């Protein structure tokens, strides 16, 4: 079995092409707990979710067959998969896709003609490859965080500096030997931090980092940040004042993941506020489902925002033109599009728009404006 723990943009591209007239089962199972999960709970969660779908289609033998096939496959997954979150898709035609992930995901079981991909898009948006530099008085560790997993390439650097015993105080008005000693220590520490900063920048380029977080006492993280070049200094997105130099990787993983999720939520809130402001006349922003859909059809959308749990009613006329949230009178003679938001996401993806699923405060702000919006290229 393929132990692939990461979702890639290529995976999303492949899944967006999936279609099935007989239906696709999408499963998101967030079962990560302290110490893992027992086999009985894994089984109970899967049974509960699949039973709920079965109850919605009690007389559909095709759905029942798909559920039974998926259940048999899931029960055969190895123990390693039961310690992390699970993403699983299965079509009635026999296609199967799965990933074991180390990020929080919503528990969700769906049966649709297309895969339910909003959580996958959320993972890709909220999980840029991030460098993690852990600092202490004696050691620096350079790590890579990717979708909730810390990758340790063994890059550790000694921070030891030459020690000289301070002397006695001299006459008033002249530097003491202790003062001189402290100055020499500060110079050596700055030099060491500079060396680690250069190694970090090389690692960033090799591993395609997009941003950095720093962990350690503030007196060390401040010096290190100052030694970074201007590019990477601007990409420090968080500092965690913890002594984690000897912490196990899972603790660094958890702390890094939470810090990044908190940071992203604040960024999203600010972006939505800016989007709302830019939607005024003369701005490069639009709000609302139909307004955003119109811009998507013109390939003008740069960043596509939507509240992750929003439901969109869509319709299509004989010419293939889409409409959103019509009244019953307006919808007369039109064909209903049951997966309108998924269709909009597909349009955004194909046109190269940045897709940003919103949760938390940013989502609430956008819901007050219809739950969908976009910034425009021009």
Query: What are the pLDDT digits (tens) for 129-182?
Result: 999 999 998 999 999 999 999 999 889 998 877 655 555 555 555 666 566 656
Answer whether 355's CB lies under 8 Å from 294's CB: no
- What is the C-alpha to C-alpha distance for residues 53 and 47, in angstroms, rounded to an integer? 10
Among the listed residues 58, 53, 33, 64, the one whose alpha carbon sits nearest the alpha carbon of residue 254: 33
Question: Quick one: pLDDT at residue 229?
Answer: 97
Q: pLDDT tens for residues 25-55?
A: 999 998 665 555 566 778 888 999 999 999 9
Question: Quick one: pLDDT at residue 172?
Answer: 54
Regarding pTM above 0.85, the answer is yes
All residues at 6 or more sequence positions from 305 whose CB lies less than 8 Å from its CB, including other chains? 271, 272, 275, 356, 358, 366, 372, 373, 374
Q: What is the 3-state secondary structure (H, E, C) of the chain?
A: CCCCCCCCHHHHHHHHCCCCCCCEEEEEECCCCCCCCCHHHHHHHHHHHHHHHHHHCCCCHHHHHHHHHHHHHHHCCCHHHHHCEEEEEEECCCCEEEEEECCCCCCEEEEECCCCCHHHHHHHHHCCCEEEEEECCCEEEEEEEECCEEEEEEEEEECCCCCCCCCCCCCCCCCCHHHHHHHHHHHHHHHHHHHHHHHHHHHHHHHCCCEEEEECCHHHHHHHHHHCCHHHHCCEEEEECCCCCCCCHHHHHHHHHHHHHHHHHHHHHHHHHHHHHHCCCCCCEEECHHHHHHHHHCCCEEEEEEECCCCCCEEECCCCCEEECCCCCCCCCCEEECCHHHHHHHHHHHCCCEEEEECHHHHHHHHCCCCEEEEECC
295-308 exposure pattern, b = at least 16 Cβ within 10 A, e = fewer: bbeeebbbbbbbbb
What the chain holds in terms of domains, given with CATH numbers, is 9-126 (3.30.960.10), 130-247 (3.30.420.60), 268-376 (3.30.1330.30)
Question: Quick one: pLDDT at residue 164?
Answer: 54
Q: Retrieve residue 104's tokens.
A: 């929080």
Phi (first) and psi of residue 10, to 5 degrees: -65, -35
Residue indicated by tokens 């009635």: 92
- The side-by-side arrangement of strands in the sheet containing 322-324 is 322-324, 314-316, 335-337
Mean pLDDT across the chain: 90
Low-confidence ranges of the chain (pLDDT < 70): 1-3, 31-39, 162-182
Long-range pairs for 296-300: beta carbons < 8 A, 24 or more residues apart: 296/344, 296/347, 296/348, 296/351, 296/353, 296/374, 297/322, 297/347, 299/351, 299/377, 300/376, 300/377, 300/378
């Amino acid at each position: 079995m393929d132990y692939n723990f990461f979702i890639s943009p290529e995976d999303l591209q492949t899944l967006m092409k999936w279609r099935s007239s007989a239906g696709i089962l999408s499963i998101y199972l967030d079962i990560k707990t302290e110490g893992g999960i027992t086999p009985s709970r894994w089984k109970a969660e899967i049974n509960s979710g699949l039973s709920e779908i079965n109850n919605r289609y009690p007389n559909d033998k095709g759905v029942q067959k798909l559920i039974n096939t998926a259940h048999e496959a899931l029960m055969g997954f190895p123990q390693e998969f039961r310690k992390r979150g699970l993403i699983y898709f299965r079509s009635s035609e026999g296609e199967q896709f799965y990933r074991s992930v180390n990020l929080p995901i919503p528990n969700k079981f769906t049966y649709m003609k297309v895969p339910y991909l909003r959580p996958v898009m959320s993972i890709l948006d909220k999980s840029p490859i991030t460098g993690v530099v852990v600092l202490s008085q004696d050691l620096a560790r350079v790590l890579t965080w990717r979708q909730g997993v810390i990758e340790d390439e063994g890059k550790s650097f000694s921070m030891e500096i030459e020690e000289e015993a301070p002397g006695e105080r001299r006459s008033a008005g002249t530097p003491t030997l202790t003062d001189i000693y402290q100055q020499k220590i500060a110079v050596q520490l700055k030099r060491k931090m500079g060396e680690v900063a250069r190694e970090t920048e090389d690692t960033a380029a090799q591993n395609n980092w997009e941003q950095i977080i720093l962990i350690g006492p503030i007196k060390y993280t401040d010096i290190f940040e100052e030694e970074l070049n201007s590019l990477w200094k601007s990409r420090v997105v968080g500092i965690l004042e913890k002594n984690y130099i000897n912490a196990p990787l899972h603790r660094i993983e958890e702390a890094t993941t939470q810090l990044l999720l908190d940071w992203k939520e604040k960024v999203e809130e600010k972006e939505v506020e800016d989007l709302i402001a830019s939607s005024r006349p003369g701005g490069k922003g639009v709000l609302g489902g139909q307004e955003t859909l119109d811009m998507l059809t013109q390939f003008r959308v740069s960043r596509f925002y939507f509240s992750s749990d929003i439901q969109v009613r869509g319709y299509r006329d004989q010419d293939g033109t889409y409409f959103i949230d019509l009244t019953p009178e307006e919808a007369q003679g039109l064909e209903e599009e049951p997966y309108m938001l998924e269709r909009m996401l597909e349009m955004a993806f194909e046109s190269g728009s940045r897709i940003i699923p919103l949760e938390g405060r940013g989502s609430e702000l956008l819901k007050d404006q219809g739950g969908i919006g976009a910034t425009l290229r021009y």
